[in-house]
Structure 1
Amino acid sequence: MSAVQNRKEDKQPHRTNLYFDIPSTPWPIVYSPDYNITFLGLEKLHPFDSGKWGKIVNFLKEEKMINDETIVRAREAQEDDLLVVHSKRYLNKLKWSFIVATITEIMPVAFLPNFIIQRKVLRPFRTQTGGTIMAGKLAIERGWAINLGGGFHHCSSDQGGGFCAYADITLAIKGNGHERDFMDDNRVYIMDAFNRYIYPGDGYAKRAIKWKIELEWDTEDSEYLAKVEAHVAKALHEVTPDIIVYNAGTDILDGDQLGGLAVSPQGIIKRDEVIFKAARIHKIPILMVTSGGYQRSTARIIADSILNLHHLHLIDQRLI
């Protein structure tokens, strides 16, 4: 979770074409069918479900919460939008298939022509990145927003990794990854609850975390939720942010081969409830991104969590 406080003008203004007026009718839920990644079955070589975003939408449609007209269609982030944070040098590196293969951790990608990689892999990432930027503006305007994709927290301004090619969180705020980008920026307060033993083990990036909640292997619901609720309350008494960026990963789920924790689906739903309740109590706009999670059940859990937030009136089409 990142909080942004004490808003100031940068010496050199950054601009994105993704800040435009969006009608007030739709929910501030951002999505595009272009989020989903399918290419020759190679996406199945990574444990991440690269079609989970479409599944979330389908579940929400089945429950009659949304339809195509009541959510915001994400637009692809173009080069000018990405240059707000990324260097031209880094964006040029993504024109090499080997680099993208390293970032996505799917090595056969290295042998594909880059024009295919751009269309089948990077375009979905760019569209999700555009969705996060758009959702950031919506959160400020409407009190909350959810990008059903995004949360590429392993990517910084000049380095991708961990299935993250663009620094969407940094782009959303600034207009391991975002932690490196905000190392010396006192306007950003980073709170992170994480398994202390797992990837990426980036000690340098951890120095930017203002409030660490370091967890042990196989931490279960009761301990996890108690720590999150207590520490969030304390952090929000320490700072009064302009916006909360909530990286709502589901890799804490019991059985996740990369997360190493043991939180139940109900625990994840309760965690999201805790964060949104805190934002409501303190009247802070909140932007949620769905981030990591490496089991096929995560789409259903995320959809159930959003439905729960709606049932509790923590999200609605108009909240402010």
Structure 2
Amino acid sequence: MRVFYCDHHEVRLPEGHRFPMSKYARLRRRLIATDVVLEHELVPVDPAPLDVVLRVHAAEYVRKFVDGTLEPKAIARIGFPWSRELVQRSLASVGATLAAVEAARADGFSGSLAGGTHHARRDEGSGFCVFNDLAIAARELLARATARRVLVVDLDVHQGDGTAAIFADEPRVFTFSMHGAKNFPSRKETSDLDVALDDDTGDDEYLERLDDALARALEASRPDFVLYQGGVDPLDADRLGRLALSHAGLLERDARVFREARERGLPIAATLGGGYAEPIELSIEAHVNTYRAARARSRI
């Protein structure tokens, strides 16, 4: 297993900021401490080149973000104060997902300890998402002809609205999002397959809905590659989640996604997505479980 990280590109946020930026480095250390991912399997990455980002995002948006000249409203929509460090970190997050895709093509599975920034649209960022790494990775797979059809499985509690909008007219990318019906964003996009869940949905109903929807998505898309946004904010302890999954339920969710990909011989690359529990260790443990499920997948 190879897993890619970019937490060495640090971003210092104002005291009291609600985004848990520290979770990335803490997750990496926890994976090592628990032997879920071995230290030599963890690979640091550099920022992705701008030409790759420009395959998906509008040139003016990219230029203004990189130069620090985005309008205040656009920065506020992203949710982070602008800094040079944020530019490098955002590009490195894309780089980690691209590296995971290449490793998954060779090994069957890989992951990024970042990414899943599914709210970013072609010409704007949103909801702590600057560049849409999932969309960029899918576009690269198609541009290089290393996949003919890509399935994006997005199980973050928030709809993958940016990814859905970017690929609305691209039949080679199938977007599947299973999310809270009443959660952010308030105005949803139309994915190829959307499953909207009521508040307080628990393990049993969630997994039943997932089994049905995942089978439908795989049948409809017939993909060559799967991109997995494995946000852990459906956890019952998540302060932004509104669903009621347990750690065991999320672990089973991940296991089912990985098993379906393996049984079909599909390479799969996983990204982190959201996780905002208090204490943050609860989210970190759920992210660790994603890699426990991936490790078990390799032994099936």
| TM-score where L is the length of structure 2 | 0.85
1:245 aligns with 2:218: no
Please tell me whether residue 28 in structure 1 is matched to residue 11 in structure 2. no
**Higher relative contact order, structure no. (Cα contacts within 8 Å, ≥ 6 residues apart):** 1
Secondary structure (helix, strand or coil) at the match of 1:230 reads: helix
Taking structure 1 as reference, are residues 279 and 33 closer, same or farther at Cα in structure 2, changes over 3 Å only? same
Distance 1:70 1:242 in 2: 25
1:137 to 99, 102, 121: 102
Q: Which residue of 2 aligns with 1:268?
A: 250
Matched-pair contact (CA < 8 Å) for 1:30–1:72: yes
SS in 2 for 1:69: helix
Contact 1:43 1:50 in 2 (8 A): no
The letter of the residue matching 2:84 is: Q
Q: Which residue of 2 aligns with 1:170?
A: 135
Shift in CA distance, 99/138, structure 1 to aligned 2, threshold 3 Å? farther
Question: Is 1:61 matched with 2:26?
Answer: no
Residue-pair matches, total: 274
The corresponding residue for 1:16 is: none
Residue identity in the other structure for 1:69: H
Q: Distance in 2 between matches of 1:66 and 1:286?
A: 17
274 and 240 in structure 1: CA distance in 2 versus 1, 3 angstrom threshold:
same
Structure index of larger Rg: 1
CA RMSD, Structure 1 to Structure 2 (Å): 2.0
**SS of match in other structure, 1:81:** helix
2:89 aligns with 124
Unmatched runs of 5 consecutive residues or more in structure 2: 141-160
Indicate the percent of aligned positions where both proteins have the same amino acid.
26
Q: Distance in 2 between matches of 1:242 and 1:44?
A: 43
Paired residue for 2:23, among 37, 45, 52? 52
Amino acid at match of 2:211: E
Instruction: Provide the C-alpha distance between the structure 2 equivalents of 1:164 and 1:100, rounded to a whole number of angstroms.
Output: 12
Q: Which residue of 1 aligns with 2:154?
A: none
State the match for 1:305 in structure 2: 290
| Change beyond 3 A, Cα 1:43–1:241 | farther
Equivalence for 2:153: none
Partner amino acid for 2:131?
A: Y
State how far apart, in whole Å, the 2-side matches of 1:224 and 1:60 are: 26
**Aligned mates of 1:230, 1:143 — CA distance in 2:** 24
Asked if residue 196 in structure 1 is aligned to residue 181 in structure 2, the reply is yes
The answer as to whether partners of 1:247 and 1:289 remain within 8 angstroms in 2 is yes
Return the offset for 1:67.
4.2
Matched AA of 1:118: R
Alpha-carbon offset, residue 91 of structure 1: 1.3
Is the partner of 2:194 in helix, strand or coil? strand
Stretch of structure 1 that moved more, 284-293 or 237-246: 237-246
Query: Is the Cα contact below 8 Å between 1:225 and 1:271 reproduced in 2?
Result: yes
Matches within 5 A, 1:197-236: 197-203=182-188, 205-206=189-190, 209-236=191-218
Q: 1:82 maps to which residue?
A: 53
C-alpha deviation, 1:161, in angstroms: 0.5
In 2, distance between residues paired with 1:265 and 1:167?
Answer: 27
Shift of 1:229: 1.6
